[in-house]
Structures are given as structure tokens and as C-alpha cells.
Amino acid sequence: MKRLASAALAAVLAAAPAVAQEVTLRGVSAFAGGTTFSRPFEAFVAHVNEIGKGVVQIDYVGGPEAVPPFELGNAVSGGVVDIANNTSAFYTNLVPTGDALHLATNTAQDQRANGCMDKIDAIHQQQMNVKFLARTGDNVAFHLYLTKPIDSPDLSGLTIRTTPVYRAMFEALGATLVRTAPGEVYTALERGAIDGYGWPLQGVMDLGWDEQTKYRVDPGFYQVDVNVLVNLDRWEGLPEAARAVLQEAAEWIEARNADNIAINAEEAEKQAGAGIEVITFSPEDEARWLTTAQEAGWAGVAAVDAGIAADLKSCLTE
Ligand code: 173
């Protein structure tokens, strides 16, 4: 049997061309090209194209102008896009427990070491038909930005732009919510359709929102997850050498997540320079702000699937 199998393999190898065909993957980002949450992916693409010469290349097709952010999950799931840079909040239609990812208090490296990344990958494979390749955004918290001041965590009477990241928390604090893609935030602010928006500490100036923003509420909460996802059929069809290049590049880009600590400090300074004032609360109100974030966040995931919520909580917050 064994001899037969190796004879068959030898025949296949003999028939194969001396140099295996280079594979090209079509890549799309949920965030505009050159902006904060596309930059790690763009570095990842450049790295793959460097170390993967002759094996695998990524053709970076573009950002939200190529595929609308809330459609990108479907596009990579169905194989219209081979590789996507996307945040779980933009594909909750496919992975509704993905909201757990931004509730992480540890790093992508921790999640690889403790098996959490394998669990997250399995959920993505089963529910979305994608390989969960890499996670960026560690160390970057989310904040509430406002056009008018508040003096407590009570958000009643305020209309706030949201995504699934902030929904459970802001709803628990009484806000009226409207979901928009990042590309619609500027116009919504300019028209006065919203009194504020949820967004991470980084990237507020990318699309000029600082012009329309007066306040940032501190402290931040949660942790950004912007993930590299590969269509599963495409992934499984890749030569082993191509998968190895992508996996190496995944850990390479995750190592750069540590840079976010320094970038956070620069961003906070730039926001101050742009006239964005920081709102803080009394110690009791700050505790309420952060406790509501955690409790409402996990309750939201548990309402979707209590088993997955408990399982992921244990490895994302250890
Ligand atoms: O606010 C958002 O659009 C959002 O959910 C998000 C998630 C990760 C990075 C940046 C924004």
C-alpha cells in the first residue's frame, strides 16, 4: 500500500511543472486605503509579496470603494474576495458571537498560546467559511466622541453613531443609536444627524472627523480587532508553501501590534492639538462606565450563544 502511494506521488511530482505556479489572492480592506486600520494589512500585503515571491502574492484591490464594509464578510465568505481585512463588527450577520473578540483583554500572542485563536478560527470556518489568519488592533481601545458635553455616563437624549462594538453598552446607557459605516460619519456629524460616535483612539483624523468633534470620553473600553480572513475553499486549495508564507506573515503582523502603545500616545496628542477636549467622570461614574461596557458586552454575546461566550471569555480575558 505504502509503496503504491509513494509511486503515485512520484508520478504526480514527475507530471508537475518544475516551478509550481505562483498563486495570486485578491485582497480587500473594510477600511479606506492608507488609513489607520488598513495600514497593518497593507504592511502584511507588502510583506507577503516580498517573502512570497514565486509562491503567493496578494493583489490589493482596494477598500470600501471596492466592496462596502458591511458586505465584505459575505464577499470573502463566498469567495468573491480571497483575503479580507475586516473587523468582526462588520460581519456579525455571519459570526454573531464575533462581538466577543473586542472584549479581549489579552493579546493575539496570548490567544495563539492558549488555544483561543484555534477556537476563534474554528468558529469562523464553521459559520463564515473563512480561515481566521491574523488579528491586528491589540492595545487600541474604543472611545465615545461627542459634539456636546456630558457630565455622567447617562447617554439618554443623545443620538450616537454605532456599530455592533458599542451597541450593547451605549444602549444600556440610554443612547439612541444609528449604525453607519465609517465613510458616513463625517456627513452625519456635519448635518447634525448625530451627537457623537463610537470609534477607537486611533484614526479620528483620517477622515477629518476632528473638525466636527469637540470631546472624547475617557477612559476607553474594549480592544480593537481587525482581522485577516481568507476564503476557506481558497485556503484549503493553496499549496502548503503558500499557506506557510501567509502564516509566517500573520505572526509577523501580529508582532507589530505592540507598536500601538506608542501610536496611541501620538494620537491622543494630535487630538488635543486639534482641540478635542477630554471628558472624564467621577470615580463612581467611571466605574459604572467600564462595568457597563464589560457586562453589557458579554451579556450580548451570551444572548447569542451562552456556550461560546463562556468558552471565549475564559481564553480572551485570562
Ligand atoms: O466604529 C467602527 O466602525 C468599528 O466598529 C471599528 C472596529 C475596529 C476598528 C475601527 C472601527
Burial of 266 (0-12, 13-18, 19+ CB in 10 A): exposed
Mean pLDDT calculated for residue range 38-43 = 98
C-beta of 87 in contact with ligand 1 (< 6 A):
yes
pLDDT of residue 245: 98
For residue 181, pLDDT over 90 is answered with: yes
pLDDT (mean) for 192-214: 98
275-297, pLDDT tens digit by residue? 999 999 999 999 999 999 999 99
Residue given cell 444572548 in the structure block: 303
Taking the C-alpha atoms of residue 67 and residue 63, their distance in angstroms, rounded to an integer, is 7
DSSP letter at 194 equals -
The residue whose CB lies within 8 Å of the most ligand 1 atoms, and thus the one to mutate among 36, 41, 139, 142, is 142
Reported confidence tier of residue 49, pLDDT bands at 50, 70, 90: very high
Please confirm whether the linkage preceding 219 is cis (ω < 30° from 0). Answer: yes
How far, in Å, is the centroid of ligand 1 from the Cα of 194?
A: 17
pLDDT computed for residue 15 by the predictor: 52
- For ligand 1, atom 1: residue with the closest CA: 199
**Residue of minimum CA distance from atom 3 in ligand 1:** 182
41 CB near ligand 1 (under 6 Å): no
Average pLDDT over residues 144-165: 98
Tell me what pLDDT residue 20 has: 72
When pLDDT is averaged across residues 304-314 and rounded to a whole number, the result is 98
Could you give the CA distance from residue 318 to residue 314 in angstroms, rounded to a whole number? Answer: 6
Q: What is the rounded average pLDDT of the residues 147-174?
A: 98
Of 72, 101, 71, 85, residue with least CA distance to 39: 85
What confidence score (pLDDT) does residue 1 get? 45
In Å, what is the CA distance from 7 to each residue of 12, 13, 240?
9, 10, 21
Residue 318: predicted pLDDT: 86
In ligand 1, the atom with minimum distance to the C-alpha of 69 is 3
pLDDT tens readout for residues 229-249: 999 999 999 999 999 999 999
% of the chain residues with pLDDT over 70? 94
Residue 22 alpha carbon to ligand 1 centre in Å: 34
**pLDDT digits over 56-74, tens only?**
999 999 999 999 999 999 9
Domains along the sequence of the chain with CATH? 2-139+224-261 (3.40.190.170), 142-222+274-316 (3.40.190.170)
